[in-house]
Amino acid sequence: MIRISIALTILVSTAAAAAAPHEESESAPANGAEKAEKYRRNAAQDAAASGALSAFSVSPAMPRAAAAVALAGYDGAARGFRARGAADGRLLGFLAARVEYEHGLGNGPSDRVSLGLRAKLLNQAQHGIDLGAMLFYQPRDFREEGNVVGGLLLARRFDRLTFVLNPLVGSDPEGDDQSFDLRFAGLYKTYSWLVLGVDGHGRYNLSNDQKRNGNWGIDWEAQAGASAAFCQGPLLLTLLVGPSLLQRSYQGLAGVPGERELRSGLLAMAGAGGTF
Above pLDDT 70, what percent of the chain?
A: 79
The tens digit of pLDDT for each residue in 222-257 reads 999 999 999 999 999 999 999 999 999 887 666 566
The tens digit of pLDDT for each residue in 120-147 reads 999 999 999 999 999 999 876 545 567 8
pTM: 0.84
Q: Which residue in 236, 230, 150 sits closest to 195, CA to CA? A: 230
Distance separating alpha carbons of residues 64 and 48, to the nearest angstrom: 13
Distance separating alpha carbons of residues 244 and 84, to the nearest angstrom: 14
The tens digit of pLDDT for each residue in 29-45 reads 456 666 556 556 789 99
CATH topology of domain 2-275: Porin (2.40.160)
Instruction: Please report, to the nearest 10 degrees, the dihedral formed by the alpha carbons of residues 223, 226, 232, 234 taken in order.
Output: 30
User: What are φ and ψ of residue 124, in 5° steps?
Assistant: -65, -35
Instruction: List alpha helices for the chain, DSSP H.
Output: 2-18, 33-50, 124-127
Chain mean position to CA 5: 18
Of how many residues is the chain composed?
Answer: 276
Contact between 116 and 136 (Cβ < 8 Å): yes
For residues 151-174, b (16+ Cβ closer than 10 Å) or e, as one string?
Answer: bbbbbebeeeebbbbbebebebee
Taking the CA of residue 206 as centre, how many other CA atoms within 13 Å lie in the half-sphere pointing to its CB?
9
The tens digit of pLDDT for each residue in 195-214 reads 999 999 999 988 766 666 66
What are the structural domain ranges in the chain?
2-275
Instruction: Please report, to the nearest 10 degrees, the dihedral formed by the alpha carbons of residues 169, 171, 175, 176 taken in order.
Output: -100
Bridge partners, residue 120, by sequence: 132
